[in-house]
Amino acid sequence: MPAENSSKQTVAPLECTGVSKEFTVEARGIKALEQVSFTLKKNMVTGLIGPDGAGKTTLMRLCMGLLKTSAGSLSVLGFDPLRDRNTVLAKVGYMPQRFGLYQDLTVQENMDLYADLQGVALQQRGERYAQLLDMSGLTPFTRRLAGNLSGGMKQKLGLVCTMIRPPQLLLLDEPTVGVDPVSRRELWNIVYHLVEEEGMAVMLSTAYLDEAERCREVILLHQGKVIGQGTPSSFSNQVQGRTFQVQAEGEHKRVMQKKLARMNQVQDALILGKSLRVVTEKGQTLDSKDFPGHDVQVHAVPPRFEDYFVATLKTKHQKGGQAITLHTAIQESDSAVIQVQDLVRTFGSFTAVDHVSFHVNTGEIFGLLGANGAGKTTTFRMLCGLLPISSGSCRVAGMDLRTASAQARSRIGYMAQKFSLYGNLTVGQNLKFFASAYGLRGKHQKRQMQWAISTFDLDQYLKTESGMLPLGYKQRLALAVALMHEPDVLFLDEPTSGVDPLARREFWTHINSLAEQGVTVLVTTHFMEEAEYCDRLVIMAEGNLLAQGTPEEIKADNSDREGATMEDAFIHLLEHNGAAQ
């Protein structure tokens, strides 16, 4: 970049002063942002962290002049985004959550389009293209249609298109959502590179709390308000001395978690493979002496950003979550409930699932892990009987659900990836319909509906249209519908995608207590941390099984160092796999 004028030295890349934004939805005002004030620093990556609905996207749109503030003022590189719109647009790069790639255009054509739109002179393009393509690793794919790229490559292309004209400030709205860990790591490297080489300021929003630690500075946003700004460690230091790792011999991790959750001094207990991670209440510690008569080891561990987040935002009400109790006990059996043998599914010449085999035992939580496009959902849909199989077999409780009798389907529960209940029916109407559809009637129906309403705390929303529910409640309703008929096997397709970390924990509390009662759970996820909650799991990539086993086995087999995370193992696996090809 040529030397910029002196104003760059003095003017902050972004300055918000008392910014508020209100939307009117169905004649009701909704406060998306309330009195937001902060100043962005130059030459670094600042993370805008917050759960879904915190106001991250609204804030970015305000910066680009796509929305008008209700109150307060915004200064982007010293300019007003509305008054000096064209100046701001020329100096700021913005990558929306769903970047506007044209799926039916090739990588090259997309780049040309944005070069044209951003007014990049023809003679500058060659060099810039080469540089960006090289950095993103897209050079071999310039002739491929954007729609045929993997999720990670699409995001990289989006970033490339945003960067064709080098901006001074880069705004990235959740660039890593749904991207596999390898691509995620690469994206981060590109971002770091940009900050170093081109000296730009980057503001990046994310709902992944582990990404906070990759930022130099973090702005924590919750329900439209700024909770704090500072380095990631300045946040996690606030819970210093309250974080512990607990390992119990001879106790099942889920039993142990339940025990911990009931302890007074414990605020949060999270399963991490074989052990548990615990955050204690303010001023409290944990010790192995707290577990008399048990072989329990407790180590203090350094705090993470996520610990602070949970400790600050988890309310008493949410603590522990409500445990689910089913009415009818499930018969234990040793045989595998789900058996998948040489499963293949092709779409035309494309093989989505390529000779996959695994089995799931009764009462297990079984994870199907992989990035978008790995073949998880295709496998999942074949298991549920929603998609015909090309070859091989998959049996649930000894049956192929596609040909099994309707009655057999009443033994399974199903929760789809995106909210898929009737949006314009009320919560009560949805419950009633699905209860009847599963053949519950009379007193039994009434009892089960009552159970669902009280277990999932749906009382206040009974007459609300389910499409209007807050995200967390939508997910509760979906789970309630999947459980009302007390299935033996529960299928969950990316149940926590897009849900904030607190709701995710609550959700897993429910799942854990179901598994304890003998329900077999098959869950797909792209959150690596959720793999730790599973008893066993498989990792998929490009339709193949890369690994199979317990979380510990997978981590041990695929990492060279102690204390590796599931994400490390996953990256190792993918890289190894790529080298093999």
Partner 1 sequence: MKIESLFRLKGMIRKEWLQIIRDPSAIAIAVFLPIFLLLIFGYGISLDAKEVPLAIVVEQHGQATDSFIGSFGANPYFTPRHMGSIQEAENALKNAEVDGIVWLQHTFEQEYLAHQSPPVHLIVNGGDANTARLVEGYVQGIWANWLNQEARLSGRKMNSPLQLEQRIWFNPGVRSTEFLVPGVIAVIMTLIGSLLTALIIAREWERGTMETLLVTRMTVIEMLLGKLIPYFGLGITGLTISLLMGRFVFEVPMRGSLTIILAASVLYLLVALAMGLFISTIARSQFVAALAAMIGTFLPAFILSGFIFDIRSMPPLVQGLTHLIAARYYVAILQTLFLAGDIWPVVLKNSAALLFMGVLFFTLVILKTNRNLEQQ
Partner 2 sequence: MSARLHALIIKEFLALFRDKKSRLAIIIPPIVQLLVFGYAATFDLEHVNLAIWDEDHSPISRELSARFSNSTAFELVGHVDNGQEASTLINTTQALLVLHISPQCSQSYHQGESCPVQILIDGRNSNTAMLALNYVRDIISTYNADLLEELPNRILPVQLEMRARFNPNLVSRWFIVPGIVALLGMIVTLLVTSLSVAREREAGTFDQLLVTPLRLWEILIGKAMPGLVVGVAESSLIILITVYWFKVPLLGSLAALYAGLTIYILAIIGVGLMISSMSTTLQQALLGAFLFIVPAVILSGFATPIANMPKFMQTMTYLDPMRYFLIIVRRVYLEGAVLTEFGHQLWPMTIIAALTLTAATWLFRHRMY
Read out DSSP for 298-362?
A: EEE----HHHHHHHHH--TTTTT-PPP--SSPPPP-SSEEEEEEEEEEEETTEEEEEEEEEEEET
CB of 65 to partner 1, least distance (A): 6
Q: Does 98 bind partner 2 (CB under 8 A)?
A: no
Query: Three-class SS of residue 394?
Result: strand
CB of 531 to partner 2, least distance (A): 25
Q: Which of 409, 550, 553, 577 binds partner 2 (CB under 8 A)?
A: 409
Q: Which of 114, 438, 507, 570 binds partner 2 (CB under 8 A)?
A: 438
Query: Three-class SS of residue 269?
Result: strand
Give exposure, 358-379, as e/b (b: 16+ Cβ within 10 Å).
bbbebbbbbbbbbbbbbbbbbb
From the list partner 2, partner 1, none, pick the one residue 396 interacts with, judged by a Cβ distance below 5 to 8 Å according to partner type: none
Span 549-578, contacts to partner 2 by CB under 8 A: none
CB of 404 to partner 2, least distance (A): 10
Q: Would you give the distance in Å from CA 125 to the centre of its chain?
A: 36
CB of 323 to partner 2, least distance (A): 26
Tell me the two tokens of residue 79: 């300019």
CA gap 275, 423 in Å, rounded: 40
From the list partner 1, partner 2, none, pick the one residue 429 interacts with, judged by a Cβ distance below 5 to 8 Å according to partner type: partner 2
Neighbours of 207 (CB within 10 A): 20
The stretch among 87-95, 139-147, 426-434, 541-549 that binds partner 2 (CB under 8 A) is 426-434
* Residue closer to partner 1 (CB basis): 101 or 278: 101
Q: Does 124 bind partner 2 (CB under 8 A)?
A: no
From the list partner 2, partner 1, none, pick the one residue 98 interacts with, judged by a Cβ distance below 5 to 8 Å according to partner type: partner 1
Q: Does 419 bind partner 2 (CB under 8 A)?
A: yes
CB of 526 to partner 1, least distance (A): 20
Single out the residue of 498, 494, 502, 495 nearest to residue 478, CA to CA: 495
CB of 409 to partner 2, least distance (A): 5
Q: Name residue, tokens 């955050």.
A: 279
Q: Which of 70, 410, 464, 544 binds partner 2 (CB under 8 A)?
A: 410
Single out the residue of 258, 329, 322 nearest to residue 455, CA to CA: 322
CB distance 443 to 407 below 8 Å: no
- Strands 14-25 and 489-493, how do they pair? unpaired
* Residue closer to partner 2 (CB basis): 252 or 418: 418
Q: Does 376 bind partner 2 (CB under 8 A)?
A: no
CA gap 275, 31 in Å, rounded: 40
Torsional sign, CA 374, 377, 381, 384: positive
* Residue closer to partner 1 (CB basis): 109 or 251: 109
CB distance 375 to 352 below 8 Å: yes
* Residue closer to partner 2 (CB basis): 330 or 404: 404
Q: Does 407 bind partner 2 (CB under 8 A)?
A: yes
CB of 195 to partner 1, least distance (A): 21
> Which backbone phi and psi does 302 adopt, to 5 degrees?
-65, 145
From the list partner 2, partner 1, none, pick the one residue 437 interacts with, judged by a Cβ distance below 5 to 8 Å according to partner type: partner 2
Q: Does 418 bind partner 2 (CB under 8 A)?
A: yes
From the list partner 2, partner 1, none, pick the one residue 12 interacts with, judged by a Cβ distance below 5 to 8 Å according to partner type: none
Neighbours of 130 (CB within 10 A): 11
From the list partner 1, partner 2, none, pick the one residue 414 interacts with, judged by a Cβ distance below 5 to 8 Å according to partner type: partner 2
From the list partner 2, partner 1, none, pick the one residue 380 interacts with, judged by a Cβ distance below 5 to 8 Å according to partner type: none
Q: Does 437 bind partner 2 (CB under 8 A)?
A: yes
Q: Does 464 bind partner 2 (CB under 8 A)?
A: no
CB of 149 to partner 1, least distance (A): 15
Give exposure, 157-193, as e/b (b: 16+ Cβ within 10 Å).
bbbbbbbbbbbbbbbbbbbbbbbbbbbbebbbebbee
* Residue closer to partner 1 (CB basis): 13 or 363: 13
Q: Name residue, tokens 């549920």.
A: 384
- DSSP-based helix, strand, coil % in the chain, nearest 5: 35, 25, 35
CA gap 294, 153 in Å, rounded: 49
Q: Does 444 bind partner 2 (CB under 8 A)?
A: no
CB of 30 to partner 1, least distance (A): 13
* Residue closer to partner 1 (CB basis): 97 or 322: 97
CB distance 95 to 171 below 8 Å: yes
The contact set with partner 1 (CB under 8 A) reads 61, 64-68, 85-86, 89-90, 92, 94, 96-105, 109, 112-119
Span 474-533, contacts to partner 2 by CB under 8 A: 481, 491
* Residue closer to partner 2 (CB basis): 415 or 545: 415
CB of 414 to partner 2, least distance (A): 4
> Which backbone phi and psi does 571 adopt, to 5 degrees?
-65, -40
From the list partner 1, partner 2, none, pick the one residue 188 interacts with, judged by a Cβ distance below 5 to 8 Å according to partner type: none
CB of 425 to partner 2, least distance (A): 5
- Strands 520-525 and 489-493, how do they pair? parallel
- Which residues of this chain interact with partner 2, rule CB under 8 A? 381, 384-388, 401, 406-410, 412, 414, 416-425, 429, 432-434, 436-439, 441, 465, 481, 491
